Chains A and B, each alone.
Chain A
Amino acid sequence: MWRIVVVLLITTVSCGCGALSFVRVTINEPIKPEEAAFILPGQTTFHDVVKQLGAPSEIKETTDGAVSTYHFLDVKYSRVNFGWIARFWLPVNPDFILSRGRLGTDRFEVWFDRAWIVREYAFAHRPSAPSFLPQPF
């Protein structure tokens, strides 16, 4: 669902008529590793995690307990219209557009045993930090 919302929002917002467009979409704020440093596997409870980090975006059952997931999303979209300048001397408005969107997803997952004690936790970082570069090739 997130992806549909993001695509719709980008489409809506990027309808500006300038030669250059920069659009950023962020969903929630990423949790930094130092903010999760208080978690001690085998000791910290679900309540402790929620108290410090807030409610997770998702809870799922696993074979030996549960996993709570915190989702974060950062989308950067840039567009350049090289045809924009020609509208000043041509009777039509030609478009020659290059654009690119980059989607960075961060996930923080905490695994719990059946007594809701943390077994382990991990960050699933995006492969590379997205940047604004309207180069689709």
Chain B
Amino acid sequence: MSRDHEGRRMPRRLRLVWCALLSFLFILLTDCAFNRGNIGEEFKSERVESIKKGVTTRAEVVSLLGAPDRIVQANSYDIFQYYRYDIKAGSLLLILVNFSRLNIKSDDLYVLFNRDGIVEDVVFGKRTGRIEFQFWPFGE
């Protein structure tokens, strides 16, 4: 570490500067935190896939996925909505400055029933797979 890229030993003064810089960084870095939170349970893909259009009934969907978070009626359909949120938070706590970022993403599952209570359609959107821990709050 104390040698340069040509294998020569670094001058004593430069080494001292490096040590001072590293020490300064360690002093500044006081804490670092990772937090994770969830609202709702993860959708098991085998359960979602077991819902068959034109076959599965409303009662079977409820027994598979539980009671829906929301029931909506639109275009003569009863729509069961299930949602789930995943939260990942990263914090970099320095002596002077703190940076934190929370990323929240949702999974949404809609099951559309016809007038006979049979599944007409299933719409599933999974965004939580792309969620990541981040510290830096600036930029995109």
Contacting residues of chain A (1-53) with chain B, CB-CB under 8 angstroms: 5, 9, 12-14, 16-29, 47, 50
Residue B99 is within 8 A (CB to CB) of chain A in the complex: yes
| Residues of chain B lying within 8 A (CB to CB) of residue A25 | 101-102, 104
How far apart are B65's CB and chain A's nearest CB, in angstroms? 14
Contact present for B89 and A13 (CB under 8 Å) = yes
Residue A108 is within 8 A (CB to CB) of chain B in the complex: no
Q: With A59-B74, A61-B74, A66-B75 given, is the CB distance from A9 to B87 under 8 Å?
A: yes
Interface size class of B (residues with CB under 8 A): 35 or more
Q: Please count the residue pairs between chain A and chain B whose beta carbons lie under 8 angstroms apart in the complex.
A: 111
Residue A122 is within 8 A (CB to CB) of chain B in the complex: no
Q: With A22-B137, A55-B109 given, is the CB distance from A16 to B72 under 8 Å?
A: no
Contact present for B98 and A18 (CB under 8 Å) = yes
Contact present for B72 and A50 (CB under 8 Å) = no
Residue B42 is within 8 A (CB to CB) of chain A in the complex: no
Interface size class of A (residues with CB under 8 A): 35 or more
Residue A54 is within 8 A (CB to CB) of chain B in the complex: yes
| Residues of chain A lying within 8 A (CB to CB) of residue B61 | none
**One of A14, A28, A55, A60 near B72 (C-beta < 8 A):** A60
Q: With A55-B109, A55-B125 given, is the CB distance from A27 to B97 under 8 Å?
A: no
A-B contact pairs, 11 of them (CB 8 A): A13-B91, A14-B100, A20-B96, A22-B137, A23-B100, A23-B137, A25-B102, A54-B127, A57-B106, A60-B74, A76-B137
**Other A-B pairs beyond A25-B102, A61-B74, A73-B104, 11, CB < 8 Å:** A13-B102, A16-B93, A22-B97, A22-B98, A22-B99, A24-B137, A50-B123, A54-B126, A59-B72, A60-B74, A65-B75
